C-alpha cells in the first residue's frame, strides 16, 4: 500500500516538513480545525502574516506570531544552560579560591618556618659570636707529651718520621651479618716498616698482642675494641701500648697492655729490665699516684704487698716509655671497687 506524502522545509526553523507539519517546531501550513478565538491571535496575526498559518502551542492554545513554540523551548534550554554555566563558573571560582588559599597558607607556613630558622640561626650564631664555644676549643688541645711535663697526661701517639724505619697502621675487624647483633670486633695497631725484614719478629709480637681478644670477642655481649699507640720511638727502642675495651651488658671493662722492644736485637724489654720492681717502687707509686691521679679507692685500700704483686704480674703490669719518662702501673679487678687500670710517671727513668 502506498501513501502520498507532501514534503517541504519549514519556513520558520528550516526543518523537514511532512504533510504540511514541521517535525521540529510543530509549525503547520494546513488550515486549523480549531475554532478561532475572538480577539485572539488567530485572525489578526494570520491576516498580518501568512494566510492560513496558525501556530499552536501546548494544550491547543495559539501563540502570538514571533513567539513560536520552538523559541519557547529554546528559552527553557537557554535558561537551563545558563544555570549550568553559572554553576561551572562558581565551581571554577571556588577551586581557584581553594588553590589560592592553599598557596597563601603554604607561604605563611614557609615564612613562619623561615623566621623560626632565622631565630634559631641567630641564637646559634650568637653562641659563636659571644664566644660560647671558644673556651671549649681554647681549653682543648691535642696533647703532645714533652720531657718538661710534670707527668704523662694521657696515652697518645708520639711517632716520628726522621728515623730509618717507619710505621704502618693495620685494621682488623669483624662485623656480624645480623644488623641487630652488636657483638663486634675491632683492632687497629702499628707495624714497623723498612729494615728488609729486620722487624719481622717485633711485628709478630705486636700483632699477637693487638689481636689478643680476637678469638674470644664473641664471649662478650658487645664484643671488644683495641686501639694501639706508639708512645715512644727512637733509633734503638720503641714502646707500643694497647687500650682494650671489653663490652659487657651492663659495663665496659677497660684494660691496657704494653710492649717495648730493643730494635738492635729485636728482643722485648721486660718491665724488670726497665726498673727495679720492689718495695721502694711501691712507695714511689703511691706518692706519684696522689700527685698525678688523686685518690683511687682501690689503691688507697690495697696493701703494699697487693700493689707489689700487681706490678710484678706479667698479665697485669703496665710498663712503657713516653717522652716524659717511664710509665709504671697495672690493671686491677675488684668486687668491691670495680675494675680499671692506673699508671704513674717516673721522670728520672726517662730515656
pLDDT digits (tens, 9 = 90+) for 122-157: 554 554 455 555 555 566 678 999 999 999 999 999
Residue 92 or residue 246, greater confidence: 246
Query: Could you tell me what percent of the chain has a pLDDT over 70?
Result: 66
Looking at residue 80, what is its pLDDT? 57
CA dist 297 and 289 (Å) reads 12
Which sequence spans correspond to the domains of the chain? Answer: 68-140, 166-349
Could you tell me which residue, 123 or 175, shows the higher pLDDT?
Answer: 175
**pLDDT for residue 54:** 39
Q: What is the DSSP track for 256-300?
A: EEEEEEETTTTEEPPHHHHS--SHHHHHHHHHHHHHHT---HHHH
Q: Determine the pLDDT at residue 93.
A: 82
Phi, psi of 99 (to 5 degrees): -60, -45
Give me the pLDDT at residue 230, please: 98
Give pLDDT, residue 8: 72
Contact predicate 253/203, CB 8 Å: no
State the CATH class of domain 166-349.
Answer: alpha beta
Residue 110's pLDDT is 61
Do the beta carbons of residue 343 and residue 254 sit within 8 Å? no
**Is the pTM higher than 0.85?**
no
Are β-strands 184-193 and 223-233 bridged in parallel, bridged antiparallel, or unpaired?
A: parallel
Q: Which residue has cell 644488623?
A: 179
Least confident of 138-142, 152-156, 178-182, 304-308: 138-142
Work out the average pLDDT over 193-220. Answer: 95
Residue range 33-60: mean pLDDT, rounded: 40
CA 203 to chain CA centroid, Å, is: 40
Amino acid at each position: 500500500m502506498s501513501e502520498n506524502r507532501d514534503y517541504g522545509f519549514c519556513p520558520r526553523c528550516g526543518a523537514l516538513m511532512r504533510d504540511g507539519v514541521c517535525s521540529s517546531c510543530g509549525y503547520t501550513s494546513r488550515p486549523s480545525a480549531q475554532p478561532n478565538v475572538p480577539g485572539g491571535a488567530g485572525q489578526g496575526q494570520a491576516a498580518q502574516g501568512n494566510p492560513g498559518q496558525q501556530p499552536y502551542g501546548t494544550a491547543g492554545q495559539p501563540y502570538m506570531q514571533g513567539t513560536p513554540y520552538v523559541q519557547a523551548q529554546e528559552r527553557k534550554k537557554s535558561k537551563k544552560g545558563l544555570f549550568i554555566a553559572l554553576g561551572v563558573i562558581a565551581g571554577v571560582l571556588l577551586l581557584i579560591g581553594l588553590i589560592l588559599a592553599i598557596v597563601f597558607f603554604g607561604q605563611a607556613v614557609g615564612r613562619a618556618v623561615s623566621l623560626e630558622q632565622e631565630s634559631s640561626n641567630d641564637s646559634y650564631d650568637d653562641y659563636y659570636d659571644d664566644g660560647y664555644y671558644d673556651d671549649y676549643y681554647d681549653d682543648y688541645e691535642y696533647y703532645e707529651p714533652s720531657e718538661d711535663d710534670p707527668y704523662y697526661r694521657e696515652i697518645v701517639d708520639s711517632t716520628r718520621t726522621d728515623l730509618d724505619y717507619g710505621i704502618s697502621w693495620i685494621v682488623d675487624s669483624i662485623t656480624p651479618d645480623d644488623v641487630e647483633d652488636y657483638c663486634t670486633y675491632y683492632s687497629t695497631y702499628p707495624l714497623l716498616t723498612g729494615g728488609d725484614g729486620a722487624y719481622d719478629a717485633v711485628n709478630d709480637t705486636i700483632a699477637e698482642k693487638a689481636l689478643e681478644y680476637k678469638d674470644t670477642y664473641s664471649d662478650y655481649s658487645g664484643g671488644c675494641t683495641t686501639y694501639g699507640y706508639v708512645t715512644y720511638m727512637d733509633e734503638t727502642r720503641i714502646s707500643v701500648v694497647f687500650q682494650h675495651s671489653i663490652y659487657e651488658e651492663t659495663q665496659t671493662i677497660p684494660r691496657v697492655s704494653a710492649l717495648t722492644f730493643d730494635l738492635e736485637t729485636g728482643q722485648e724489654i721486660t718491665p724488670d729490665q726497665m726498673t727495679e720492681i720492689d718495695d721502694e717502687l711501691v712507695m714511689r707509686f703511691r706518692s706519684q699516684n696522689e700527685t698525678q691521679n688523686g685518690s683511687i679507692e682501690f689503691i688507697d685500700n690495697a696493701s703494699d704487698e697487693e700493689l707489689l704483686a700487681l706490678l710484678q704480674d706479667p698479665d697485669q703490669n703496665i710498663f712503657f716509655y713516653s717522652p716524659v719518662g717511664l710509665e709504671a702501673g697495672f690493671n686491677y679487678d675488684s668486687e668491691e671497687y670495680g675494675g680499671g687500670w692506673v699508671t704513674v710517671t717516673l721522670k728520672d727513668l726517662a730515656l
